[in-house]
């Protein structure tokens, strides 16, 4: 089976960049012929598939700079960000259709990108097999009458009439938010979990120069879907032997999300270590093994999947997670740690204490549940689930072609 993964906006900060590489590798290990096309032609330093999976560039290198000149400040302006993402979505999906026009039995899997530009390009295609990820809830209510909403609905209908399209979500909550729309068939396939090798905690802390304290890990960039301030508010009321290890690029200097400023504001600078850099995959084990628990703090309206949950499961690290969307559901259902009311620092403090003070037997039982979860959602299982969707799409695409010939 030939599969082209399409990644228009992976290079934006806060986007789960390693996802395409993980999925491509897992699909390849299951016998699929996989390639990836991105807007800029690479997957960045976070990924390891270069040389094993062919990467394509949607737009020539010489054209990328001039094309984006009007939107240089896109990180600061909502309008410029939307324009840039729209342009990148159109270019990358169009390139994917062009590149595979003469290839029979190929599945295009669009992993991200705004729906309007993606569907506008797919509406021009005929009898193509396409999977499209819906990573966040829709921006408009089902009965919205705005020009943008009407255009999105019309283009989706045209694209669905002309092609075999399936929609994929990472969480049941996001899938449910599309139930009233013409987005069928709709599948839920959670993030996969890598195999991880756990290091000795004492050795990991020694290697990182960390003290023998209770260590809470906050991992990833400080994007605006996370509630960072509540972590520091809770830390200020935790015992002095509890410290925070912040690992990830600080890309947003907003006072409510900047760990440097928040540590000063809440008087916990002496109990906070900030590692403001990208951590390559081979070094992740040290940070996750050194911690006692991971803090996953998101805002109330966050319904998407958390890549950090998968990383915590990979290294058998209990979590204290905001009770939002699929994240809270998975933590409760599988017993991966504790959940707290999003934005409630006192609840976060109480649940953190519960995880840190549990006995050895309780912790080992929790770690066993985490291992069970990691096995259930391994990348091998996730790849097989995707391949089943791809097979169904190709069957529908063949049926559409046969109808035309008849």
Distance (Å, whole) CA 368 – CA 177: 32
Distance (Å, whole) CA 308 – CA 312: 6
- Cα–Cα nearest to 402, from 164, 177, 111: 164
Handedness of CA 47, 53, 59, 62 (dihedral sign): positive
- Cα–Cα nearest to 126, from 90, 89, 91, 161: 161
**Is the CB of residue 282 less than 8 Å from the CB of residue 206?**
no
**Is the CB of residue 242 less than 8 Å from the CB of residue 211?**
no
Q: Given this model, what pLDDT does residue 317 score?
A: 97
Per-residue pLDDT of the chain (406 residues), as tens digits, is: 999 999 887 555 544 457 888 899 999 999 999 999 888 765 554 455 555 678 787 776 545 554 554 444 444 444 466 777 788 888 899 999 999 998 889 999 999 888 889 999 999 999 999 999 998 888 777 667 788 888 888 999 999 999 999 999 988 888 888 887 877 899 999 889 998 889 999 999 999 999 999 999 999 989 888 999 999 999 999 999 999 999 999 988 899 999 999 999 999 999 999 999 988 888 999 999 999 999 999 999 887 778 899 999 999 999 999 999 889 989 999 999 999 999 999 999 999 999 999 999 999 999 999 999 999 999 999 999 999 999 999 999 999 988 877 6
**Is the CB of residue 27 less than 8 Å from the CB of residue 52?**
no
As a 3-state breakdown, the chain gives helix, strand, coil percent values, each rounded to 5, of 45, 15, 40
Q: Given this model, what pLDDT does residue 66 score?
A: 47
* Bridge partners (DSSP) listed for residue 5: 36, 109
- The four Cα atoms 62, 63, 66, 71 give a dihedral, to 10 degrees, of -130
Distance (Å, whole) CA 268 – CA 116: 45
Domain that holds residue 351: 201-376
Give 226's DSSP letter: B
CATH label of the domain that carries residue 149: 3.40.50.2000
Distance (Å, whole) CA 21 – CA 27: 10
Residue in this structure with the two tokens 């929609």, named with its chain if needed: 167
397 lies in the same domain as 364: no
- Cα–Cα nearest to 18, from 295, 296, 308: 308
20 lies in the same domain as 166: yes
Q: Given this model, what pLDDT does residue 81 score?
A: 66
356 lies in the same domain as 228: yes
Q: Where are the beta strands (DSSP E) in 173-280?
A: 186-188, 214-219, 242-247, 272-275
311 lies in the same domain as 391: no
**Is the CB of residue 303 less than 8 Å from the CB of residue 281?**
no
**Is the CB of residue 378 less than 8 Å from the CB of residue 192?**
yes
173 lies in the same domain as 320: no
Q: Given this model, what pLDDT does residue 278 score?
A: 86
CA distance between the termini of the chain:
26
User: What number of other Cβ atoms are within 10 A of residue 103's Cβ?
Assistant: 9
306 lies in the same domain as 245: yes
Tally of residues, the chain: 406
142 lies in the same domain as 230: no
140 lies in the same domain as 182: yes
241 lies in the same domain as 255: yes
Distance (Å, whole) CA 90 – CA 113: 9
243 lies in the same domain as 213: yes
How many structural domains does the chain have?
Answer: 2
Q: Given this model, what pLDDT does residue 87 score?
A: 83
182 lies in the same domain as 294: no
Q: Is 242 helix (H, G, I), strand (E, B) or coil?
A: strand
The model carries a pTM of: 0.84
Q: Given this model, what pLDDT does residue 78 score?
A: 44
143 lies in the same domain as 209: no
How far out from the chain centre does Cα 212 lie?
32
What is the DSSP secondary-structure string of 274-342? EE-S---GGGHHHHHHH-SEEEE-B-TT--S--HHHHHHHHTT--EEEE--HHHHHHHHHHT-EEEE-T
């Amino acid at each position: 089976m030939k599969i082209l993964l399409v990644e228009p906006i992976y290079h934006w900060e806060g986007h789960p960049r390693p996802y395409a590489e993980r999925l491509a590798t897992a699909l390849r290990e299951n016998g699929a012929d996989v390639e990836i096309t991105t807007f800029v032609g690479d997957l960045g330093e976070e990924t390891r598939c270069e040389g094993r999976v062919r990467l394509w560039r949607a737009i020539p290198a010489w054209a990328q700079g001039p094309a984006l000149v009007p939107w240089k400040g896109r990180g600061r302006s909502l309008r410029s960000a939307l324009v840039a993402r729209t342009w990148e979505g159109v270019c990358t999906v169009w390139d994917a259709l062009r590149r595979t026009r003469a290839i029979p039995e190929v599945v295009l899997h669009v992993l991200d990108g705004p729906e309007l530009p993606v569907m506008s390009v797919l509406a021009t295609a005929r009898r193509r097999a396409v999977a499209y990820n819906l990573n966040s809830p829709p921006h408009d209510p089902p009965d919205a009458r705005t020009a943008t909403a009407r255009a999105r609905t019309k283009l989706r209908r045209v694209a669905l009439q002309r092609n075999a399209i399936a929609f994929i979500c990472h969480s049941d909550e996001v899938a449910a938010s599309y139930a009233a729309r013409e987005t069928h068939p709709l599948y839920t396939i959670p993030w996969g979990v890598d195999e991880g090798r756990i290091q000795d905690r004492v050795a990991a802390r020694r290697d990182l120069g960390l003290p023998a304290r209770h260590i809470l890990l906050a991992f990833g960039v400080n994007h605006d879907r996370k509630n960072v301030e509540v972590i520091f508010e809770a830390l200020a009321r935790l015992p002095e032997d509890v410290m925070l290890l912040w690992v990830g690029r600080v890309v947003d200097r907003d006072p409510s999300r900047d760990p440097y400023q928040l540590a000063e504001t809440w008087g916990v600078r002496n109990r906070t270590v900030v590692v403001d850099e990208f951590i390559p995959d081979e070094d992740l084990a040290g940070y996750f093994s050194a911690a006692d628990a991971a803090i996953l703090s998101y805002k109330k309206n966050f319904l998407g999947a958390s890549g950090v949950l998968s990383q915590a499961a990979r290294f058998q690290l209990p979590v204290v997670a905001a009770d939002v969307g699929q994240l809270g559901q998975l933590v409760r259902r599988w017993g991966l740690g504790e959940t707290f009311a999003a934005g409630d620092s006192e609840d976060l403090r109480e649940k953190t204490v519960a995880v840190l003070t549990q006995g050895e037997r309780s912790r080992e039982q929790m770690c066993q549940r985490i291992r069970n979860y990691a096995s259930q959602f391994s990348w091998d299982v996730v790849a097989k689930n995707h391949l089943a969707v791809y097979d169904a799409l190709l069957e529908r695409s063949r049926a559409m072609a046969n109808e035309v010939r008849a």
